[in-house]
């Protein structure tokens, strides 16, 4: 099967085309937000994936939007991640860090009392996850030019930190309604400076970050995640400029010779054939993007193989299947039954529902 073939990710050899999608698991239960040996164990259990993309890791204290996330802005955090990357590499795996700034999907309780930063002072009317549980988001602070500049620097520093921690690459999290996506979307961005108004202006932050990144890191090791079809969630609403905006972004990413473009799938709860939307979106952007395309959401072995066979994408990322099946690749290869994931333990503390999903046991 094509899914099990090796793949050249712009110079990085992958042993198959099966990618573990980025997934927040909230296990860094320490005040310093440092990745722990338990987190290293979790990722190393999944090292037979062609590529692992880490959970979103906050690039700065002002980028925080959730508790217990292993972050990537301090020296201690770099050291913590080294244990993770080392464990994955020892098992022959490859791992990228997903660089995350949540923008307005946060709360002052997570930010030392400060208002979350966002393109504009528009409340997403969503929820943030605190120690006491989910709370309503607030109206954020519109970022000043100086705050935009320092956020760009924070992304660059975080990428450098990730390479210092021996990640094989980084993925810019520009999907799912977080900071970059807030700049892209008119419903979240009513700025009148060079970061608001036209499509080009709303896309600018992403390209500013890439332009600064390319001065210090090899963009062949940088991926970008977008969610062009996301609607009515995370404070994001589709409008008449959404598709042209993402078309502009995707076409312009061609100039950067990136590791990949990763489309985060989105489907509506009531959709009768959710795969249709994922595939149609992928086909649309495949025509515009010349590099490696990774796609996501709801895939199993058969639908993933078909998407690659049909040349809709080069790589497929799997989320929930990897939570419950550390040996997902081996299960795909052997057409073995899958463990079922328990949603109650997706986020939490400790090994339960994290590192205790069993490998497939052959019956003899
Ligand atoms: C528990 C959980 C945490 C997630 N955290 C992230 C995240 O940190 N960054 C991100 O881009 N997507 C995140 N996602 C979305 C996944 O990457 C993926 O898009 C989603 O699970 C759909 O793929 P699947 O159908 O293969 O599970 C998360 C999903 C789950 C289930």
Measured by CA distance, the residue closest to atom 22 of ligand 1 is: 297
Going by alpha carbons, the residue nearest to atom 3 of ligand 1 is 23
* Residues acting as catalytic residues: 178
Give the whole-number percent of the chain exceeding pLDDT 70. Answer: 99
Q: Estimate to the nearest angstrom the gap between the alpha carbon of 237 and the chain centroid.
A: 20
Q: Model confidence over 210-219: pLDDT tens digits? A: 999 999 999 9
For 58-93, the pLDDT digits (tens) are 999 999 999 999 999 999 999 999 999 999 999 999
Q: pLDDT tens digits for 123-134? A: 999 999 898 989
Q: In this model, does residue 246 exceed pLDDT 70?
A: yes
Among 49, 319, 324, the mutation site with the greatest number of ligand 1 atoms within 8 A of its Cβ is 319
What is the rounded distance in angstroms from the CA atom of residue 188 to the CA atom of residue 125? 11
Q: Nearest-CA neighbor of 46 among 83, 12, 110, 95?
A: 95
Average pLDDT, the chain: 97
**What's residue 268's pLDDT?**
82
Closest ligand 1 atom, residue 347 Cα:
1
What DSSP element (H or E) covers 19? strand 18-20
Alpha-carbon gap, residue 208 to 330, rounded angstroms: 41
- For the purposes of burial, counting CB atoms within 10 Å of the CB of 23, is it exposed (0-12), middle (13-18) or buried (19 or more)? middle
Ligand 1 center–CA 22 separation, angstroms: 6
Residue 165 pLDDT level (bands cut at 50, 70, 90): very high
From the CB of 171, is ligand 1 less than 6 Å away?
Answer: no
User: What is the CA(265)–ligand 1 centre distance, in A?
Assistant: 9
Residue nearest to atom 31 of ligand 1 (CA): 320
Q: What is the pLDDT of residues 38-65, one digit of tens each?
A: 999 999 999 999 999 999 999 999 999 9
Assigned CATH for 2-345: 3.20.20.70
103 ligand 1 Cβ < 6 A? no
| Ligand 1 contacts CB of residue 175 (under 6 A) | yes
Evaluate if residue 208 carries a pLDDT over 90: yes
pLDDT in tens, 282-327: 999 999 999 999 999 999 999 999 999 999 999 999 999 999 999 9
C-alpha 297 to ligand 1 mean position (Å): 8
pLDDT of residue 364: 62
Distance between Cα 319 and ligand 1 center (Å): 5
Domain positions in the chain are: 2-345
Position 362 scores a pLDDT of 72
Confidence of residue 363 (pLDDT cuts 50, 70, 90): low
CA dist 336 to 77, 151, 214, 363, Å?
A: 37, 45, 43, 12
């Amino acid at each position: 099967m094509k899914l099990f073939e090796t793949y050249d990710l712009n110079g990085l050899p992958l042993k198959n085309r099966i990618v573990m999608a980025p997934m927040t698991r909230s296990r860094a239960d320490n005040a310093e937000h440092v990745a722990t040996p338990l987190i290293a164990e979790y990722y190393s259990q999944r090292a037979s994936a062609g590529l692992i993309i880490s959970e979103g890791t906050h690039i700065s204290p002002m980028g925080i939007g959730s508790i217990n996330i292993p972050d990537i802005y301090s020296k201690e955090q770099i050291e913590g991640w080294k244990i993770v990357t080392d464990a994955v590499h020892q098992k022959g795996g490859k791992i990228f860090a997903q660089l995350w700034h949540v923008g307005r999907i946060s709360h002052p309780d997570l930010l030392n009392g400060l208002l979350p930063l966002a393109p504009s002072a528009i409340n997403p009317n969503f929820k943030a996850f605190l120690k006491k549980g989910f709370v309503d988001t607030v109206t954020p602070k519109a970022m000043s030019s100086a705050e935009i500049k320092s956020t760009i620097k924070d992304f660059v520093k975080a990428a450098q930190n990730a390479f210092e921690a021996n990640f094989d690459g980084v993925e810019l999290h520009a999907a799912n309604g977080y900071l970059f996506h807030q700049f892209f979307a008119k419903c979240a961005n009513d700025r009148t400076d060079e970061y608001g108004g036209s499509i080009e202006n709303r896309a600018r932050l992403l390209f500013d970050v890439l332009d600064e990144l390319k001065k210090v890191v090899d963009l062949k090791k940088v991926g970008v995640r977008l969610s062009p079809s996301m609607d009515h969630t995370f404070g994001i609403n589709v409008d008449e400029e959404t598709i042209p905006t993402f078309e502009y972004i995707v076409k312009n990413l061609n100039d950067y010779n990136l590791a990949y473009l990763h489309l985060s799938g989105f489907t509506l709860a009531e959709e009768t054939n959710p795969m249709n939307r994922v595939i149609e979106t992928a086909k649309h952007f495949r025509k515009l993007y010349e590099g490696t395309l990774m796609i996501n959401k709801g895939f199993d072995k058969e639908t993933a193989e078909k998407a690659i066979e049909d040349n809709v994408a080069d790589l497929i990322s799997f989320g929930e299947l990897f939570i419950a099946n550390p040996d997902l690749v081996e299960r795909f290869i052997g057409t073995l039954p899958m463990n079922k994931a328990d949603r109650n333990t997706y986020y939490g503390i400790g090994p339960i529902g994290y590192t205790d999903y069993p490998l497939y046991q052959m019956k003899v």
